[in-house]
Amino acid sequence: MGAATTTRKDGQSSDDHTTMLVRKIPDGSVIDHIAAGKALSVLRLLGNPQENGFTIAMVMNVTSSKMGKKDIVKVEGLEVSQEQVQRLALIAPRASVNIVRSYRVVAKRNAVPPRTLRGILSCTSPTCVSVRERDSAPSIFFLSGRSPLRYRCKYCGTELAEKEIISQLG
Ligand code: CTP
Ligand code: ZN
């Protein structure tokens, strides 16, 4: 809870202004604190729910007391799974996922990068066994750094930098 929370009641905070841009949702998920510019990547990671009939609201490039500028994604009627929250950490490391039921936030999940990733990233070394023998050696990566994010291939030790990780998932 930052300064914006305490100033919210007087109607002057930037977060309050943000709230007015999109209405509260009755049920579903609110993914908050996405780095500015990453909202569309987040939607893609969730499997583009708007293409399956879900109603989406997006706020992009709004002022945040915690992170300067941020994006917010709201998906009505869809509760983001724990596995999706983990994957979210890879492209939106500071994101918080709010699960909403009957207009109330009933759970707040922080995106924590998983220690191990199976079948999600691809090794960038063309000689890696996971590239040459995809079927017998599915890709496995271990977390090797958080800020910036880094993952190391189990088979050949190649490290993927945050930029590469985001571009593979985004
Ligand atoms: N929200 C929503 N619809 C609801 C309830 C909440 O769209 N029915 C949104 C809020 O607008 C906010 C987010 O979900 O963007 C989280 O709500 P809440 O926990 O009430 O806000 P904060 O306390 O500001 O969250 P944080 O501490 O994570 O910044
Ligand atoms: Zn490898």
The Å distance, Cα 13 to ligand 1 centre, comes to: 14
- Domain range 21-110, CATH architecture: 2-Layer Sandwich (3.30)
Nearest residue (by CA) to ligand 1, atom 27, is 1
CA distance 153 to 7: 46
Looking at the DSSP assignment, which residues form a beta bridge with residue 116? 142
Residues 116-167 pLDDT 10s: 999 989 999 999 999 999 888 899 999 999 888 899 999 999 999 988 998 8
Residues 58-92 pLDDT 10s: 999 999 888 899 999 999 999 999 888 988 988 88
Decide if 94 contacts 67 (C-beta within 8 A): yes
CA distance 7 to 137: 54
34, 59, 170 from 39: Cα distances, Å: 7, 8, 10
**What CATH number should be reported for the domain whose range is 116-169?**
2.30.30.20
13 C-beta closer than 6 A to ligand 1: no
CA distance 81 to 70: 22
Query: How much is the pTM?
Result: 0.78
Mutation test residue for ligand 1: of 1, 7, 21, 30, the one with most atoms within 8 Å of CB:
30
Query: Edge-to-edge, what's the strand order for the sheet holding 68-76?
Result: 56-64, 68-76, 28-35, 96-101, 104-110
CA distance 65 to 43: 23
Domain ranges of the chain: 21-110, 116-169
